[in-house]
Amino acid sequence: MGDVHFSREKAGKGVVLFFFWMLSLISLSCAARLSVSRQKLQVQNYLNRLNKPAVKTIQSPDGDIIDCVHLSRQPAFDHPFLKDHKIQMRPSYHPEGLFDENKVSDTEKPKKGSNPITQLWHMNGKCPDGTIPIRRTKEEDVLRASSVKRYGRKKHRAIPQPRSADPDLINESGHQHAIAYVEGDKYYGAKATINVWEPKIQQPNEFSLSQLWILGGSFGEDLNSIEAGWQVSPDLYGDNNTRLFTYWTSDAYQATGCYNLLCSGFIQINSAIAMGASISPVSAYRNSQYDISILVWKDPKEGHWWMQFGNDYVLGYWPSFLFSYLADSASMIEWGGEVVNSEPDGHHTSTQMGSGRFPEEGFGKSSYFRNIQVVDDSNNLKAPKGLGTFTEQSNCYDVQTGSNGDWGHYFYYGGPGKNPNCP
């Protein structure tokens, strides 16, 4: 009898334990479901805030949705300091003089003889005057980021430091660069014509970009940066297209700033060019070469930092109050390429920079920056004095400068990443 009693007791305990086990499984799956639905709700709220009501919507051939949003409804005006801001429809001054009215021909096609580069969404329509084109952010875009908070932001310390103690050490964040730079003066802007390619990216969490940096402050926690160029970033955009982008930060990428119009800051006035939209066509090896011109300068009257794309499109401005050091001037300008090397499989990434070819291959094969200039305190475009170059690992990505009559100061840069000399 005793044995029977004991086994009943044991069975009873087993049932109780099974019951608790089932209960914990159910509560775990409920918690997981709750966490997923909470995340979905968080993402949905974020998208509702970010994607502004559109006057017109254009479906781009690459899958992007371009919303034509009224000027006064753009994300910039979510910023508490911009509640009563009166939009400046044109800068007071352009480098080398008073602003030329013709430069805000924003819905016209570029003039004959200028570069035939356009954006893919133009094939299916254009935004009306008084609106700006904004690439719509989709749920899957945000879900690819590590968190809603990190979406659209660069990682901390992702900036090339030419004076870092040991240039042979890859900087801690796995970012690698091949750049030309100037420092030691006050700079009020920079310009460059940048060759456009579609570099291959090995891992979705890596990117490849070519840009100019306008920098103020130290490389510590207070760095101010304005950046513009082209990038391929599967994580950010969900594809491998080459896209026009901008970035800004006033605290070394910690809490302020973002790509394109993904936070309040940059005020766009132009209805023809969309930040983050695909650029077309791109250069091909030993074939047609395409480049874009970017100019960023400080309006000496209002103090805002303006951006121009090509010869015809003044895109808008970063209000000076966003910055501390750049509210006055920049102390360093950098031009060049950057990739993320996440060292997949313990080896250097094969993500390409520029065309994926080394500088010595030259025109038609290697990627270039030409006619690089800085804006001086008299608002004039000048050749950069004392141009330096920097790369962490020149056998992975390299840079070579030169100058001539047609191209002014220029450099070829880039590389394939992983190769027999870059294991």
The set of catalytic residues is 227, 338
Q: Which residues contact 21 (CB under 8 A, 6 or more apart)?
A: none
CA distance 334 to 246: 14
CA distance 331 to 318: 18
Is the CB of residue 310 less than 8 Å from the CB of residue 100?
A: no
Going by C-alpha positions, the residue among 288, 212, 274, 267 that lies closest to residue 243 is: 274
Is the CB of residue 180 less than 8 Å from the CB of residue 213?
A: no
Q: Which residues contact 366 (CB under 8 A, 6 or more apart)?
A: 354, 355, 357, 358, 359, 360, 412, 413, 414
CA distance 233 to 210: 12
Q: 23 in helix, strand or coil?
A: helix
The CA distances from residue 392 to 153, 169, 361, 386, 422, in Å, are 23, 7, 20, 20, 12
Sheet holding 56-59, edge to edge: 56-59, 65-70, 131-135
DSSP collapsed to 3 states, 65-127 = EEEEEEHHHCHHHHCHHHCCCCCCCCCCEECCEECCHHHECCCCCCCCCCCCCEEHHHHHCCC
What is 301-355 written as a DSSP string? TT-PEEEEETTTEEEEEE-GGG-SGGGT-EEEEEEEEEEE---GGGS-----BTT
* Two structure tokens written together for 202: 């090995």
* Two structure tokens written together for 385: 């004095």
Q: Which residues contact 367 (CB under 8 A, 6 or more apart)?
A: 195, 197, 210, 283, 337, 353, 354, 355, 357, 412, 413, 414
Beta pairing partners, 414: 398
Going by C-alpha positions, the residue among 253, 361, 265, 351 that lies closest to residue 307 is: 265
Where do runs of H (alpha helix) occur along 91-244? Answer: 139-144, 234-237
* Two structure tokens written together for 241: 């297209």
